[in-house]
Amino acid sequence: MRTSPWPAYAAATWLVVFIGWHVPMLFGWNPLPENDPPANLAVFHAYNATLICIAAIGTAVVLATVRPWGRRIPRRLLLAPLVIGCALLVLRGVPGFVEFLLQVTGVSPTGLMALFEDDPEPPARRVLWAGYAINLFFFVGAVLLVPATLRFRRSREG
């Protein structure tokens, strides 16, 4: 039984959007200027460049699971980064989604970390909505990459 390759294409699209968001930051774009600038700009750029490289490799890996040229790549070389990517996105996406739910339901309007503060200051509206978007974006990434990985794992087993 063949399953649809759409999760792999959707995950690849998610990764391309991720790259498209981070590349301008290498050139000084700050989407939330009201936030404090990074303490060490060189470290921030190195971190950002690393994220872009990881996402670019991830895009190639996830596409290799559904494209004919990917059949020439050993299974382990594809499965290992897929599993690592799933773990990273689940570890980032699920808590972010929980935080989003806590915020929009009013349980913790200032976020998860504010649960441990005595008198948390609410974030600016723009920062709050940016946090919603970022948290949901990573959750969607997990929701897309996990089925793509499971599809690949099952397709090469039997």
Question: What are the per-10-residue average pLDDT scores of the chain (158 residues)?
Answer: 86 98 88 71 90 97 96 95 97 93 85 73 80 93 97 78
* Cα angle 143-63-153, degrees, rounded to a multiple of 5: 65
Answer whether residue 85 is part of any domain: yes
The first and second tokens of residue 42, run together, are 């060189």
The first and second tokens of residue 46, run together, are 């190195």
The pLDDT of residue 34 is 66
Answer whether residue 22 is part of any domain: yes
Tokens 């690849």 correspond to 12
Distance CA 45, CA 7 (A): 31
Helix 6-26 × helix 125-157 angle, to 10°: 140
The pLDDT of residue 14 is 98
Domain membership of residue 83 as a residue range? 6-157
Say if CB 58 and CB 142 are below 8 A apart: no
The pLDDT of residue 158 is 42
Answer whether residue 1 is part of any domain: no
Answer whether residue 26 is part of any domain: yes
The first and second tokens of residue 1, run together, are 């039984």
For the chain, the domain total comes to: 1
